């Protein structure tokens, strides 16, 4: 249910305030228009705009939460009541309606395309011709409504449009116009069903209705401000300030139509606020830098940054001069330093890489500023700068200690230690896994390679060995002379296991054997000399053959 009431309130500090004492023509020429634009032929709802209308007013919003300091407001109701606190909400009402004194219900065909209906009420249209002195047009606006949030995703899709036509403009609206009132980065018009809280309204809202207007409508919540309750603006919800922009040709005549209307009823006011002085034209050049993902600087010897230089699309090539400066910045600091780049006709911008060279010098952190300058087709000298930080690369190292075991671990944990590098570092043990620690076989000898790769990207490697301690050590000399040193044939293994032992003399005669050798043979009764053995592991069956010298046996 909508409510139609009139409230008389005094001016409260911090609230958005309005002034309805200027005609639409005066509002356009003295409030809306800024530098670089000459206007003429201002009309309101199809007639010369030299009469005050209650659907258009100026506003001051610096103390409010609308995000615009001042400008003009167009409303489906009386523009003056957009200011003040959100009284309808604080009184528990669903919204606010104050009908204009002389509403026009003649549907605008371009609004019909935006709003999806020809049933329009309380239509307000300001249009005028203008001549820009630059090659771009821009202005800032915010759209708000009392339809929020209860009637989101319904047929009551109040909307508005800024329809620009003229040289070089080709669009789907009247006179080949394009609509500049769009969700940033898209062709989607701003309206109740495209920018909202992301939830259908409680009074008949259906998500499919919003999805039909924009399949990504719920992502547009970043542009929406919930104003329930609000103390400085009457509207229940509104958008953040949005910039409308277009490429134009200097010295040529263009036409713009700014229109707003109710959709399918005449209840719950909507309004669009346009920042004063922002309707302007200049030759624009912008320089920005895109750093490698996840980083705040350019690192020597690592991935480059991308510098983007852009200007409004024109029919001529744009030659951009580039200058590089900064304390301590030398030509040797950068991989490439193009003195100029050319943006081809019909293309809005161009990009080129900037990489810092790894010179091995201890220079600390440096600041690089790139200045782009251009003389536009309009004869305007424009410039922009972008600054980035250059940092030194900290060398990436990786180490992994060898492991010596006692043949008593099926698996063993290996550790790699990483130092330096840039950003996140991936430690890779190949088929054994990733991470600084992995588990390796512990019962067999092995040599393993581990690598570390950072986001520079640079890769270093280390090798480590695992000595499982499972190999037999078989002495080839014993001296059984009773002195307590090397008297017995000790076959050692870090993990002892019973072995089968056979010893032969040089003629091949067996002189000793044991099925479970206990490391206690002293070569009793055997003369000094060379003997031959076969030792077979008890657990693996592996056979070891070799010779054994007996010395000092006294024979």
DSSP 287-306: EEEEPSTT-SSEETTSPPEE
Measured distance CA(218)–CA(198) in Å, rounded: 4
Instruction: State the fold for domain 477-550.
Output: Immunoglobulin-like (2.60.40)
CATH number, domain 397-467:
2.60.40.10
- DSSP 3-state of 157: coil
Q: Which positions ≥6 away from 540 have C-beta within 8 Å?
A: none
Measured distance CA(270)–CA(99) in Å, rounded: 11
Distances (CA, A) of 86 to 16, 93, 227: 11, 10, 8
Quote the pLDDT of residue 37.
95
Domains 286-391 and 397-467 agree in fold:
yes
CATH architecture of the domain formed by 286-391: Sandwich (2.60)
Domains in the chain: boundaries: 17-279, 286-391, 397-467, 477-550
Quote the pLDDT of residue 90.
44
pTM beyond 0.85: no
Quote the pLDDT of residue 7.
30
- DSSP 3-state of 110: helix
What residue spans of 189-343 are helical by DSSP H?
Answer: 207-213
CA angle 156, 190, 263 (to 5 degrees): 20
Hey, which residues does 384 pair with through a beta bridge?
A: 372
Give CA torsion, residues 473, 479, 484, 487, to 10 deg.
Answer: 50
Catalogue the E-assigned strands of 248-404.
254-263, 270-275, 280-282, 286-290, 298-299, 305-310, 318-325, 340-343, 349-354, 366-375, 381-391, 397-400, 403-404
Quote the pLDDT of residue 10.
33
Element (H, E) at 138: strand 136-145
Q: Which positions ≥6 away from 123 have C-beta within 8 Å?
A: 45, 76, 103, 104, 105, 106, 107, 108, 111, 259, 260, 261
Looking only at the bridges linking them, the beta strands covering 120-132 and 136-145 are unpaired
Q: How many CB atoms lie within 10 A of CB 178?
A: 17
Q: How many CB atoms lie within 10 A of CB 410?
A: 8
- String of b and e for 526-535 (b: at least 16 CB within 10 Å)? beeeebebeb
Measured distance CA(43)–CA(28) in Å, rounded: 10
Measured distance CA(353)–CA(251) in Å, rounded: 36
pLDDT in tens, 366-383: 999 999 999 988 888 899
**Regions of the chain where pLDDT drops below 70:** 1-14, 87-96, 313, 493-497, 554-555
Quote the pLDDT of residue 92.
43
Looking only at the bridges linking them, the beta strands covering 381-391 and 70-75 are unpaired
CB 86 within 8 A of CB 230: yes
Quote the pLDDT of residue 12.
39
Place of tokens 């040599």: 447
Q: Which positions ≥6 away from 383 have C-beta within 8 Å?
A: 285, 371, 372, 373, 374
Q: Concatenated DSSP letters for 451-472?
A: EEE-SS--EEEEEEEEE-S-S-
Measured distance CA(454)–CA(460) in Å, rounded: 9
CA angle 249, 253, 257 (to 5 degrees): 105
Measured distance CA(320)–CA(70) in Å, rounded: 35
Cα–Cα nearest to 321, from 386, 374, 246:
374
Q: Which positions ≥6 away from 219 have C-beta within 8 Å?
A: none
In this structure, the chain runs to a length of 555
């Amino acid at each position: 249910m909508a409510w139609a009431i009139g409230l008389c309130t005094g001016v409260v500090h911090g609230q958005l305030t309005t002034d309805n004492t200027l005609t639409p023509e005066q509002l356009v020429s003295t409030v809306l228009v800024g530098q670089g634009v000459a206007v003429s032929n201002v009309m309101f709802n199809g007639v010369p705009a030299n009469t005050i209308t209650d659907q258009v007013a100026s506003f001051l919003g610096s103390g409010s939460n609308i995000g615009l300091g001042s400008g003009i407001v167009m409303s489906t109701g009386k523009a003056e009541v957009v200011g003040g606190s959100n009284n309808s909400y604080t009184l528990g009402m669903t919204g606010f309606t104050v009908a204009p004194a002389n509403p026009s219900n003649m549907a605008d065909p371009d609004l019909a395309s935006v709003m999806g209906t020809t049933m329009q009420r309380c239509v307000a249209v300001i249009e005028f011709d203008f001549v820009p002195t630059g090659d771009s047009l821009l202005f800032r606006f915010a759209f708000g409504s009392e339809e929020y949030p209860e009637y989101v995703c319904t047929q009551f899709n109040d909307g508005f449009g800024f329809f620009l036509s003229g040289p070089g403009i080709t669009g789907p609206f009247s006179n080949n116009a394009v609509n500049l009132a769009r969700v940033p980065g898209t062709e989607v018009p701003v309206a109740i069903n495209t920018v909202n809280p992301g939830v259908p309204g409680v009074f008949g809202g259906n998500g499919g209705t919003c999805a039909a207007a924009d399949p990504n409508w719920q992502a547009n919540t970043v542009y929406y401000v919930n104003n329930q309750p609000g103390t400085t603006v009457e509207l229940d919800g509104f958008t953040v300030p949005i910039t409308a922009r277009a490429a134009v040709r200097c010295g040529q005549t263009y036409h713009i139509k700014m229109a707003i209307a109710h959709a399918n009823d005449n209840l719950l006011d909507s309004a669009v606020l346009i920042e004063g002085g922002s309707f302007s034209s200049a030759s624009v050049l912008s320089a920005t830098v895109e750093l490698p993902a996840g980083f705040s600087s350019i690192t020597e010897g690592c991935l480059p940054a991308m510098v983007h230089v852009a200007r409004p699309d024109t029919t001529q090539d744009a030659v951009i001069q580039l200058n590089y400066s900064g304390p301590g910045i030398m030509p040797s600091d950068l991989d490439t330093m193009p003195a100029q780049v050319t943006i081809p006709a019909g293309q809005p911008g161009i990009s080129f890489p900037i990489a810092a060279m790894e010179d091995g010098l201890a220079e600390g952190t440096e600041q690089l500023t790139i200045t782009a300058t251009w003389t536009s087709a309009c004869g305007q000298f424009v410039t922009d700068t972008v600054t980035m930080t250059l940092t030194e690369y900290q060398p990436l190292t990786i180490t992994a200690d060898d492991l010596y075991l006692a043949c008593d671990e099926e698996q063993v944990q290996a550790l790699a230690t990483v130092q330096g590098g840039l950003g996140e570092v991936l430690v890779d043990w190949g088929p054994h896994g990733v991470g600084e620690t992995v588990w390796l076989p512990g019962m067999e000898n092995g040599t393993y390679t581990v690598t570390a790769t950072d986001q520079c990207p640079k890769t270093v490697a280390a090798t480590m060995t695992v000595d499982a301690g499972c190999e037999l050590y078989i002495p080839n000399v014993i001296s059984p002379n009773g002195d307590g040193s090397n008297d017995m044939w000790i076959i050692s293994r870090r993990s002892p296991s019973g072995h089968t032992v056979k010893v032969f003399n040089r003629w091949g005669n067996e002189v000793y054997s044991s099925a479970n050798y206990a490391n206690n043979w002293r070569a009793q009764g055997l003369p000094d000399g060379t003997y031959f053995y076969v030792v077979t592991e008890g657990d693996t069956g592996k056979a070891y053959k070799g010779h054994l010298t007996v010395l000092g046996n006294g024979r």
